[in-house]
Structure 1
């Protein structure tokens, strides 16, 4: 079953066009990597999916229903869980308060999130603002899971994190994948991203320029669209 379908999406910031016909889809139980150099439209695509920067044209369908005209909170309630770039935890709430603030009945509970991230259990009464960057990312992922999402969206999953923390985050992503969680993920670390992905979508100047399996992403394509 196709969970998310983005077709010919064009998005503007005021008079400035940012997306020029983005195409991507995510099937149930699939991990899709959204890739591209900085400034090519990855975050804007995610914002368009979530209704934060609505598409001016094109369509966004989730579980078969059009959502491009819906408000962000209604989109989230349909089963999309966003881990935004920069984490954005509630700084003056404790770890546990951050988690329960977004909780919905479903597969994910405080117990299961703490089992996934033992470090969060250790810091349950600590204010989020005092956590390290890696711990805040764990909290942001845990908070999104507490909404019981059908599709988890990770924008810059490991940006700015120490290698050992990146390793832990990717281990969690693989565990979620093995458990059947559908994921749309943005990240720059190809060595860790590609083994975790079932398919890749590459953006260039706000448009989809390549789609395929990780093993089809040749060195030439990487150099053309992903190289510095």
Structure 2
């Protein structure tokens, strides 16, 4: 049984339809890339999975359970951890407090997160609003991991970060994959995203237009669906 399956999902913002039959699937331990140009429905798909947008048609099943109709906090407690676009750390809490406030379960601990991101250990007593953008992204990932998610969702994993910080984030994603963490990741850095992904799903105007292995996403398809 797949960990997450979307089938024919249609979502709206009031009267405006944003998703037109989106389908995708994630198996346990897979890293799946959700791709597409800006405004093609990637964040809406994530919001639909998490109950922040309620689909009007289709099915979203996680670990065999239908998510439609559940409230976002109930969905999160089933084992979905989100690293949102824009990070959204708690600015007036320290690094340590940001991590501990999300703690649930015992697999991911403060020590394990700071082992994955040593910078967070060095800055554990600093307030989140004093961190660089890259450090805040590390904190956002660490905070999501502290919920001990079965599925980690990264929305724009490295957008706007300096190259050296992007490399740190991708190194962490590779370590998470090696440890068997299931991940759904949105990112535009194809040179880093494609090698770590087991499968890719591409959205065009709110619909799934490609589903397959990264090596099947030819340069021609990349130009057609992902080029500027």
**TM tier, smaller:** over 0.9
* 1:1-228 correspondence to structure 2 within 5 Å: 1-228=1-228
For residues 129 and 44 of structure 2, the distance between their equivalents in structure 1, rounded to whole angstroms, comes to 26
Deviation, structure 1 residue 93: 0.5
For residues 224 and 119 of structure 2, the distance between their equivalents in structure 1, rounded to whole angstroms, comes to 40
Consecutive unaligned residues of structure 1, counting only runs of 5 or more, are none
Count of residues in correspondence between the two structures: 228
For residues 113 and 163 of structure 1, the distance between their equivalents in structure 2, rounded to whole angstroms, comes to 22
TM-score w.r.t. length of structure 2? 0.99
Residue by residue over 1:10-55, the C-alpha shift from the partner in whole angstroms, topping out at 9 and shown as x without a partner, is 1100111100010001000000000000000000000000001111
Deviation, structure 1 residue 109: 0.2
Cα root mean square deviation, aligned: 0.5
Deviation, structure 1 residue 105: 1.5
TM-score w.r.t. length of structure 1? 0.99
For residues 17 and 57 of structure 1, the distance between their equivalents in structure 2, rounded to whole angstroms, comes to 11
Residue by residue over 1:92-146, the C-alpha shift from the partner in whole angstroms, topping out at 9 and shown as x without a partner, is 1100000011100131000100100100011111000110000000000000000
